[in-house]
Amino acid sequence: MEVKRVVVTGLGAITPLGNTVTDYWNALINGVSGAAPTVRFDASKFKTQFACEVKGFKVEDYFDRKEGRKLDPYSQYGLAAAQQAYLDSGLEKEKINLDRCGVIWGSGIGGLETFQNEVSGFAKGDGTPRFNPFFIPKMIADICAGHISIQYSFRGPNFTTCSACASSTNALIDSFNYIRLGIADVFITGGSEAAVNESGVGGFNAMHALSVRNDSPQTASRPFDKDRDGFVLGEGAGCLILEELEHALKRGAKIYAEVVGGGMTADAHHITAPHPEGLGALNVMKNALTDANMNADEIDYINVHGTSTPLGDIAESKAILGVFGENAYKLNISSTKSMTGHLLGAAGAIEAMACILAVKNDIVPPTINHFTDDPALDNKLNFTFHKAQKRIVRAALSNTFGFGGHNASVIVKKFQGK
């Protein structure tokens, strides 16, 4: 069957680097780190005492205080990013078929802070169950998608994808597929996460997953550096408006880029460690290229998963060489997690956005915090260390890999017209 073409017509961002798309992008291309000592709670007794927190976010800018109290931070961030993206797109719900508009949202955890606070309050009490009536609606991972659909009266498909750190890339791919198959015209998609709290940091510390470079938070996220010691926890949300091409053209929408392919695989190897040869990562990039009907030499930039973990960075670089061969040396590769930290289920959304803006602006954001080459890596690859690089970016690929062996990759390219 002939499939529809899908374009990006709106963007929204709440990130550790800024609470608008413009601020986020400017910080990325200028190599700004979002890491700092943790302020949300007293982290002095934790192994990791810093994070990439959202800064300057004001609930009252988006909700009245009464409504804001009914939302976990992960939903607050998601709704705020969705509002930005919806306004950016120029959509008007009075002029579109709301039965053909949907919401697919990604979150790896959902309302962790709500869960932590409610259970902690119960444990400190006298055993009498006194729970907030909004405990469950604030905590469940699907609720942000529900809130967004209610806000914009979108009555089409509505659900949440949960695949750890691949969640929002899976949401984007599902939205892309529903549109190109003709099931819907518009999707609000992306993801949000808010795990910078005692439970989130304590849990990841117990796994030895986080950097413990407390003396230098801004340089702690070191993808592809010999001395990397784990990821830096981040939080926030990214939102994209995906739209069927003819639908977008008919209403005169601006178009950032075209979504052309996606891939999804499993490592089927280990609950947290990647396949040592990057097999799942290799297969997911191949699948994305096949889905897009593209050759390896048509990709100019890869925004890698690149979390700054000892095993993960090596496995991903092996996979890139396995897929792209000699073309790998012509690519720009960068890990924007070196600046944003790792937004878990929201990572795919803000990193796909980085790819879209790289394609639109012909500039590749850098990988910062590189000090020492790792002999376990092929250091002839262009990891875009230190500074952004200008180049024509015809197409970009975004990788996200999650605990449980979940892998998802999406490809965007310049919109060339009909």
Beta bridge partners of 265: 407
Q: Which residue has the tokens 């977008």?
A: 248
**Three-class DSSP category at 14:** strand
Residue 342 known to be catalytic: yes
Catalytic residue among 342, 355, 370, 406: 342
Beta strand 6-14 pairing with 236-244: antiparallel
Q: How far is CA 227 from CA 189, 343, 380, in A?
A: 36, 22, 18
Whether 83 and 152 have beta carbons less than 8 Å apart is answered as no
Catalytic residue among 162, 165, 239, 355: 165
Residue 63: partners with Cβ closer than 8 Å, 6 or more residues away: 71, 76, 79
Whether 296 and 302 have beta carbons less than 8 Å apart is answered as no
Residue 305 known to be catalytic: yes
**Could you tell me the sign of the dihedral formed by the alpha carbons of 302, 205, 53, 190, in that order?**
positive
Q: What is the DSSP string of 295-359?
A: -GGG--EEE------HHHHHHHHHHHHHHHGGGGGGSEEE-THHHH-B-GGGHHHHHHHHHHHHH
| Helix and strand element counts for the chain (H, E) | 13, 14
Whether 240 and 8 have beta carbons less than 8 Å apart is answered as yes
Catalytic residue among 147, 247, 275, 305: 305
Whole-number Å distance between alpha carbons of 213 and 148:
38
Whole-number Å distance between alpha carbons of 158 and 243:
16
Catalytic positions are: 165, 305, 342
